Structure 1
């Protein structure tokens, strides 16, 4: 049985629709079969995060950014991100949220910490206050300001050095003379030691001998402590 052209075209269109639906589910991170729940995060600045951006816990992808809304309060305007998380990803009280990059200039994503151990598991729809991302423009501006201050300090130091050039040269010259004098003194001391080497050696020998005698005396007194109290009797003079 041959298929007519209408049936063939219908089958091709159906296949294309199924393929496109599969790609949409895959690329759009739609979750029709996976169980999950929603948390909300508020930032003052989301730094380019978009809907469908990944959500990661400790570097592992567990969900997507489902929606972004502007929340105008009395004090400030904040961006509220609705996060869809896989039901297996349990976030505890005390968790923090960050805006991060995949690589240096890669896609923006929302990073979550799981929270401290022992903390209570957050219930769906809980709002987490996010940690504000660093402002790259402000960092560059601060860096330029610091560089300008360093340049000013360098110029000031250079000006003082130029202004006191003669005094600095004089100090360095005096230090050179002092070093030469110290070298001369050291040389004289070496010569004196060499000239009196025999006397010094003799003194060292005598000191060593005295030390040995003291050691022997100390040992003898320890062995015979009565010698400390012994006094020889004086011989009586004979009467003639």
Structure 2
């Protein structure tokens, strides 16, 4: 019997579809042939767990995660369906389904910790769950505060960079050509002021140097005045003034020669007459010296005129 070409094509297509369905269900953990057991567990968080993630006992694969969905009670918890494909394994009802990390890339799986109960879990039962932190999760928890600080630092750094940029822009705006010229003039004026101030300071130093001897003299004078008995000196001065007053009083009264001279006109007139006679005598002496002085080389006397 000859098989037509159409029948052969149809057979191949059916075989391909069957293989596809079997492979798809195998990847999902669903067995088309043989016995299987489906149990359920619940987690608040399953980060990294997906369909077809392995179910392990002591590292040995006994099944797959066949489905994941939210629990229908608005709690946000997640129901994980486990399909146990190993017919030889018996799972006590006090076993625990641990959510474990398979590697450092956060791939997750279910690790069953078998209990010691003699009662076995049946198809459709629920197993208690436990969330086991991976090494990476622990590291992430430790790095989280550092990450938050780094983020704050980056925000602060960004703000600082923006402020620095604004400051530089303002600085560039300040130091345009006109402001540079103004600043140059201001600095020149400031230099002139400082030079004048230095000159004044030098003059002040010279003045202070010149004043120091004067101050020293005043100090010595002050020291000398401290050593003088001012009271005794004043008493002596008062006595001297009293004597002078007494003399002046006697003169005014006409007592003594000075008093007679000051108060008696006759003495004054006599002195005046004597003074006139002396003047006449000196005039005649200058005019006729031979009348008063006789001198000759030969000792001969001249005749009187």
Q: TM-score, normalised by structure 2?
A: 0.40
More helix by share: 2
Higher relative contact order (CA 8 A, sep 6+): 1
**Between Structure 1 and Structure 2, whose CA radius of gyration is higher?**
2
Structure-1-length-normalised TM-score? 0.49
